[in-house]
């Protein structure tokens, strides 16, 4: 039986813009987030507090977070890699943070310069300090299906990392198919393993659509009881430390599918598509989503 209600977590301003070669003006990022706030989305990951040398596209996270108009009822989150990042985020009154690591050694090392075992204490410190500041923490596990360096990743390995993150006290784990290789049968075995240990309401799915399988994977996840999905307006996104990774599933395509299946999302499709076209103009290249294509041809 399918769920009747789903939460979409918009990651475009973070996952989307971190992968664009062009630096988007701070004022345009702010305007975009303000527009996204009016679409009915309840959660927006607005930026990250990683090292600005590693992700220069989001070096203005302080200003973005301080300048957006926060709409009551919307959670404004940011990605944080370590205690230095947490300090920066708390200084801007972030509502919530996300910590992140990979299920595979290869990607973890490339992305955050540490082994998996070296990463746990770094994240634990972040979670402990965030909790002291009354800030909730979400956990991401990347490369849950395959790693661009190590190949296929076993569900057991994902379970191990997710388990450690829950032990630290994250309230939800988002499972990322970072390079968008996964297909529904793989999502099924992954979730079969994880759902033996955690209820579906504690897991979110984060699909990149590199090979066009993201919505099929969403459907499989829905069938298995998952009710939270990450997506990016305009299908923006990717990880610069995972070669070939392309955009997240587009929020407007995900929202179309869910709404047409009578699954409530609370999101206004027209407002969403308007905000996608706003960012398309600022980026200066055609963004790829089916809903944008349809709107362009109308």
Q: Which residues are catalytic?
A: 239
Shortest CA distance to 161 belongs to which of 190, 181, 136? 190
Map residues 59-78 to x or -, x wherever contact with ligand HMG holds by CB under 6 A.
--------------------
24 in contact with ligand HMG (CB under 6 A)? no
Binding segment for Mg ion among 14-22, 80-88, 196-204, 256-264 (CB under 5 A)? 14-22
112 in contact with ligand HMG (CB under 6 A)? yes
What is the DSSP secondary-structure string of 139-206? EEEE-SSEETTTEE--HHHHHHHHHHHHHHT-SEEEEEETTS---HHHHHHHHHHHHTTS-GGGEEEE
Q: How many CB atoms lie within 10 A of CB 67?
A: 16
> Are residues 77 and 44 in contact, defined by beta-carbon separation less than 8 angstroms?
yes
Contacting ligand HMG (CB under 6 A), which of 178, 255, 275, 289? Answer: 178
Contacting Mg ion (CB under 5 A), which of 10, 15, 31, 252? Answer: 15
In a 3-state reduction of DSSP, which class is residue 7? strand
Binding segment for ligand HMG among 105-113, 130-138, 185-193, 215-223 (CB under 6 A)? 105-113
Map residues 198-227 to x or -, x wherever contact with ligand HMG holds by CB under 6 A.
--------x-x-------------------
**Residues 210, 207: Cα–Cα separation, whole Å:** 9
Residue nearest to ligand HMG (CB): 176
172 in contact with Mg ion (CB under 5 A)? no
Taking the complex as a whole, the smallest distance from the CB of residue 1 to Mg ion amounts, in Å, to 29
Q: How many CB atoms lie within 10 A of CB 166?
A: 16
Residue 84 interacting partner from Mg ion, ligand HMG, none (CB closer than 5 to 8 Å by kind): ligand HMG
Taking the complex as a whole, the smallest distance from the CB of residue 226 to ligand HMG amounts, in Å, to 16
> Are residues 251 and 232 in contact, defined by beta-carbon separation less than 8 angstroms?
yes
Contacting ligand HMG (CB under 6 A), which of 26, 40, 42, 54? Answer: 54
Binding segment for ligand HMG among 109-117, 162-170, 219-227, 272-280 (CB under 6 A)? 109-117
In a 3-state reduction of DSSP, which class is residue 68? coil
DSSP class of residue 247 equals P
Shortest CA distance to 173 belongs to which of 200, 196, 148, 135? 200
Shortest CA distance to 138 belongs to which of 103, 173, 90, 164? 173
**Residues 269, 272: Cα–Cα separation, whole Å:** 5
Site for Mg ion in 20-79 (CB under 5 A): none
126 in contact with ligand HMG (CB under 6 A)? no
Residues that bind Mg ion (CB under 5 A): 15
Instruction: Please give the residue ranges that form the binding site for ligand HMG (CB under 6 A).
Output: 15, 18, 48-51, 54-55, 79, 81-82, 84-85, 88, 100, 111-113, 140, 142, 176, 178, 206, 208, 239, 241
């Amino acid at each position: 039986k399918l769920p009747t209600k789903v939460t979409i977590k918009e990651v475009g301003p973070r996952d989307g813009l971190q992968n664009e070669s062009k630096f988007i003006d701070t004022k345009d990022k702010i305007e975009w987030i303000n527009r996204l706030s009016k679409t009915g989305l309840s959660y927006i990951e607005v930026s990250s507090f990683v090292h600005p040398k590693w992700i220069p596209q989001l070096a203005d996270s302080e200003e973005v977070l301080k300048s957006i108009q926060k709409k009551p009822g919307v959670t404004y989150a940011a990605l944080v890699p370590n205690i230095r990042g947490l300090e920066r985020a708390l200084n801007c009154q972030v509502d919530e943070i996300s910590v992140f690591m990979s299920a595979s050694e290869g990607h973890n090392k490339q992305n955050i310069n540490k082994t998996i075992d070296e990463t746990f204490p770094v994240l634990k410190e972040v979670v402990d300090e965030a909790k002291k500041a009354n800030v909730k923490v979400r956990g991401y596990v990347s490369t849950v299906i395959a790693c661009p360096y190590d190949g296929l990743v076993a569900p057991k390995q994902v379970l191990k990392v997710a388990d450690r993150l829950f032990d630290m006290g994250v309230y939800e784990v988002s499972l990322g198919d970072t390079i968008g290789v996964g297909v529904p049968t793989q999502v099924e075995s992954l979730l079969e393993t994880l759902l033996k240990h955690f209820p579906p309401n504690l897991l979110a799915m984060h699909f990149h659509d590199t090979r066009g399988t993201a919505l099929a994977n969403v459907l499989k996840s829905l069938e298995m009881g998952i009710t939270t999905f990450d997506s990016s307006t305009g299908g923006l996104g990717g990880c610069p430390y995972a070669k070939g990774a392309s955009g997240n599933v587009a929020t407007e395509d995900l929202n179309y599918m869910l709404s047409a299946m009578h699954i409530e999302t609370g999101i206004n499709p027209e407002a969403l598509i308007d905000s996608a076209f706003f960012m398309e103009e600022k980026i200066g290249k055609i963004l790829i989503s089916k809903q944008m294509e349809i709107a362009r041809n109308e």
